Amino acid sequence: MGVMPIAQALEEARKRNLDLVEVAPQVQPVVCRLIDFGKFKYRQEKREKKRQHTSKLKEIRLTTQIEKHDLETKIRHIRKFLDHDDKVRITVIFRGREILHMDRGRDLLDKITQAVADVGRVEQLPKERGKAIQMLIVPGRSAAPAPAGSEGGKTDDQEEDPQGHRQALQSDAP
């Protein structure tokens, strides 16, 4: 409609039964529009709701006896959930005497962690919960992924004792 004084713009808005809304206050002269403010506000809220994605918690349950192909399928599901910005709780369930081999469950969780390291990171380390171990993975890259071929990040100046604890090698040099 062109540049006009505020009084004239307000009068034009009243004639058309619309509202005068300021859309660009930072430019000179200020840009205003004649619109129905109720509809404008409704559309804006609708657009905001569409943009927001609430993060959901998904759970993947498995046992230590899972087959290779089934594990690959579960990993694909985890990756899909992480791509959609959902958190994933992974639960390894132990049945009967499997509880004696908790290390197998931890190894399984380590495998999964490495497989999804490019799309997710561990937020909650594996914890024992009754007859299960649970771990929480959230979307986002891992801080420092271990290089391929390095045995769990062990360096040349470290060795493991029988319990799996790392110790620095001490040299016998004088």
Residue 55 has pLDDT above 90, yes or no: no
Q: What is the model's pLDDT at position 27?
A: 85
3-state secondary structure of 58: strand
145 vs 143, more confident: 143
Strands (E), 4-81: 19-24, 31-35, 57-63
In CATH, what number is assigned to the domain containing residue 21?
A: 3.10.20.80
The rounded distance, in Å, linking the Cα atoms of 34 and 102 is: 68
Q: What is the model's pLDDT at position 53?
A: 67
Residue 112 burial (10 A CB sphere; 0-12, 13-18, 19+) = buried
**Against a cut of 0.75, is the pTM above it?**
no
The rounded distance, in Å, linking the Cα atoms of 163 and 166 is: 9
Q: What is the model's pLDDT at position 143?
A: 59
Residue 49 has pLDDT above 90, yes or no: no
Q: Does residue 109 belong to any structural domain of this protein?
A: yes
pLDDT tens for 58-107 read: 999 999 999 999 999 999 999 999 988 899 999 999 998 888 888 999 99
**Is the same domain home to 119 and 83?**
yes
Given a contact cutoff of 8 angstroms between Cβ atoms, the answer to whether 82 and 90 are in contact is no
Q: What is the model's pLDDT at position 78?
A: 94
The winner for highest mean pLDDT among 41-45, 89-93, 149-153, 167-171 is 89-93
Number of domains the chain is built from: 2
The rounded distance, in Å, linking the Cα atoms of 115 and 60 is: 15
Q: What is the model's pLDDT at position 46?
A: 86
Q: Does residue 85 belong to any structural domain of this protein?
A: yes
Q: Which helix (H) or strand (E) holds 11?
A: helix 6-15
**Is the same domain home to 128 and 87?**
yes
pLDDT tens for 5-44 read: 888 888 888 998 888 888 888 888 888 888 888 888 898 8
- Domain extent, residue 13, equals 6-50
